[in-house]
Structure 1
Amino acid sequence: MSGVELDAWQIPILVTAAVVLVEVVVNLVLRHRGGRPPSQRVRTVGFGVLVVLTVVVFVAALGPSRADQLSSVAAAVAAVVALWLTYRSYNTATKQAEQEKPAAPGPDDPGES
């Protein structure tokens, strides 16, 4: 490493500074383009860059051993969230299938003859 270490309290400051810089750049670009908002792809790439920057700075501040422990906890949380989302998706699909299923004709209904 280069010998530069970050403390945990510095992470929010660096992320806030990055967000402010990105906002300034976006405002300059919008002013230059005539006020049209950027495309969805540009916004997605910008958000992705901010996420990567946040993760890199966060892992660098934690150090390798704590980052490894945190990734284990994050993987467990992600597994629980994935299980919950799968359960919700299954319930939604089941409810939709029940709503689309035609009702059986009762004794009062003549049905189609």
Structure 2
Amino acid sequence: MSGVEVDAWQIPILVTAAVVLLEAGFNLLLRVRGSGPPSQRVRTIGFGLLVVLTVIIFVAALGPDRADQLSSVAAAVTAVVALWLTYRSYNSFTKSNTTEEQSGGTAAPGPENPGESEHG
């Protein structure tokens, strides 16, 4: 065998070329068959496969040590985002409860409540 090696910087170029070739092949196939674009499910599965392929290639290009460090950083960022979303959710929940208590739990009569009238 000739022992062809692929450097890490070449991987994104090769993946992009593969995606472009696959897309061109699918477009040609759809034109020949005369049908429209594939269904939502097929597109979602295809996108998921591309994401998995990209992640696998990315981790392989990084190597196990760098991938481990990157996953630790990603976990820390995810924890901070989850904490922020939890805080926002808690604030919106307490604001909605405070608003209900101040209005007495009933809505004011008007166009929003057509069953109630001002002539009462």
| TM-score (norm: length of structure 1) | 0.68
Q: Distance in 2 between matches of 1:97 and 1:33?
A: 58
Over the aligned positions, Cα root-mean-square deviation in angstroms equals 3.3
Q: Which has the higher contact order (CA 8 A, sep 6+)?
A: 1
Q: Which runs of 5+ in 2 are unaligned?
A: 106-119
**Residues 94, 31 of structure 1: alpha-carbon distance in 2 compared, 3 angstrom cutoff:** farther
Q: Is 2:82 the counterpart of 1:82?
A: yes
SS of the residue aligned with 2:79?
Answer: helix
Q: Distance in 2 between matches of 1:102 and 1:33?
A: 64
CA-to-partner distance for each residue in 1:40-71, whole Å, 9 max, x for gaps?
A: 11111111111111111111111111111111
**Residues 41, 104 of structure 1: alpha-carbon distance in 2 compared, 3 angstrom cutoff:** same
Residue identity in the other structure for 1:7:
D
Structure 2 counterpart of 1:23:
23
**Residues 40, 69 of structure 1: alpha-carbon distance in 2 compared, 3 angstrom cutoff:** same
Q: Distance in 2 between matches of 1:28 and 1:97?
A: 57
Check the 8 A contact 1:30/1:37 in 2, yes or no.
yes
**Residues 32, 82 of structure 1: alpha-carbon distance in 2 compared, 3 angstrom cutoff:** farther
Structure number with bigger Rg: 2
Q: Distance in 2 between matches of 1:101 and 1:80?
A: 32
Q: Which runs of 5+ in 1 are unaligned?
A: 106-112
Structure 1 counterpart of 2:47:
47
Check the 8 A contact 1:5/1:60 in 2, yes or no.
no
Give the deviation of 1:28 after TM superposition: 2.6
Identity of paired residues, percent?
74
SS of the residue aligned with 1:78?
Answer: helix
Structure 2 counterpart of 1:71:
71
